[in-house]
Amino acid sequence: MRLASGTCVASKLVSLGLLVVLAAGCNGQTQARGAARKPVATSASLSEPAPTRSPASPGGVTQADFEAAVAGVDPKAVDRLLAKLPHFSDDEGHAYIIFEGDLPYTEQGVRAAIENERAKRQARRATNARPELKLELGNPGERLFWARSERHLTYAVDRASFASAPSGAFDSVVQNIEAAATQWEGLCAGCGLTIRHRADLDGKIDRSKVTFVVRYSAAATDEIALAFFPGAPADQRTLWVYTRYPTTHFDRTGVFRHELGHVLGYAHEHLDTLSSCAKTSDSWTPITRYDAKSVMHYVCGDEGSLQLAFTDCDKKGHLRVYNLPAGAPPPISLPPLDCQGTPL
């Protein structure tokens, strides 16, 4: 995810960013143009506030580029947007297009998100209805979260990947992600959620024994961290930490509070024109009413917070999704919950 002060920055893996737009799904695995495979949500990233930058990606994407693609008047607009969006390849052979600042998409996923946004706007104009924005879940057409039988999440921190990191970075990441995980668990004692570190696997990563892996990347990027959604394939469940993390202006535990929110299925809170962040999509499900200080909100204008702290809205929304009886679907058809957005 990429957070920008005064504006949102674009990126596709789940990080604090601008262009990933929604907790929308995307398949992080590269696919041929025109492939028919359904996009699956995979990841998201967090980036440093950049007040001198426009609401665009490192490739120069602006809100106007996105609006032109959604408008559908110019058939070449989508291709131009795709060419400008930043791309990311990891060392496990996966390639992504970074969309909305911290969510990784394939080309098909980006095209699907644009088509979905176009359809949403047409429906809204037809009904003159304006849904409220909220804490979000999942992908276009598929709302994802961890079922009760899957909520004992585990992770390993790949020690070898930190070989080029600054001194102390590994220990800092281990400490801060453990703190963030404990705080998510503490929001709901009855949800059956645990997020536990398998330190015994840090020196020898075995994806078959953990839910996800935390890795450091020295790649040149504005991102701070990058996560994934519950629907990501097992070999793509990586929470990336980048070179900006040790010196970020964000609360370092807060960075992981935000990224673990994506891991649990929550999208960005600011995806609506009510926010000063640039609008990128309508593909989200309102769980609570808009919360300008949500842990899932970018820093845009006077909204968002460098602390990336939990608010009462975050807690109420989380309880509404994860504190349901076994087998019950998420309450995506219910009216959004009222809350104050007060930091906990």
Dump pLDDT digits (tens) for 26-35.
333 333 323 3
Mean confidence (pLDDT) of the chain: 76
Counting the structural domains of the chain, the total is: 1
* Beta strands at 87-89 and 95-99: parallel, antiparallel or unpaired: antiparallel
Amino acid identity for residue 297 in this structure: H
State the chain's maximal CA–CA distance in angstroms: 57
Answer whether residue 248 is part of any domain.
Answer: yes
264-311 residue pLDDT tens: 988 888 776 566 676 666 667 778 888 889 999 888 877 889 999 999
144-156 residue pLDDT tens: 788 888 999 999 9
43-94 residue pLDDT tens: 455 666 544 333 334 457 787 888 888 887 787 888 998 888 888 787 777 8
CA–CA gap between residue 16 and residue 279 (Å, rounded): 14
Between 42 and 273, the higher pLDDT residue: 273
Asked whether the predicted pLDDT for residue 333 surpasses 60, the reply is yes
Under the banding of pLDDT at 50, 70 and 90, the label for residue 15 is very low
Between 46 and 164, the higher pLDDT residue: 164
Of 323, 306, 307, 316, the closest CA to residue 341 belongs to 316
Answer whether residue 155 is part of any domain.
Answer: no
Among positive and negative, which fits the CA dihedral 19, 23, 29, 34? negative
Amino acid identity for residue 85 in this structure: L
Asked whether the predicted pLDDT for residue 179 surpasses 60, the reply is yes
Answer whether residue 177 is part of any domain.
Answer: no
Residue 18's pLDDT is what? 26
Answer whether residue 236 is part of any domain.
Answer: yes
Answer whether residue 60 is part of any domain.
Answer: yes
Answer whether residue 175 is part of any domain.
Answer: no
Joined together, the tokens standing for residue 248 give 């970020």
Domain that holds residue 114: 1-145+222-344
Answer whether residue 260 is part of any domain.
Answer: yes
199-247 residue pLDDT tens: 999 999 999 999 999 999 998 788 899 998 888 889 999 999 999 999 9
Answer whether residue 209 is part of any domain.
Answer: no
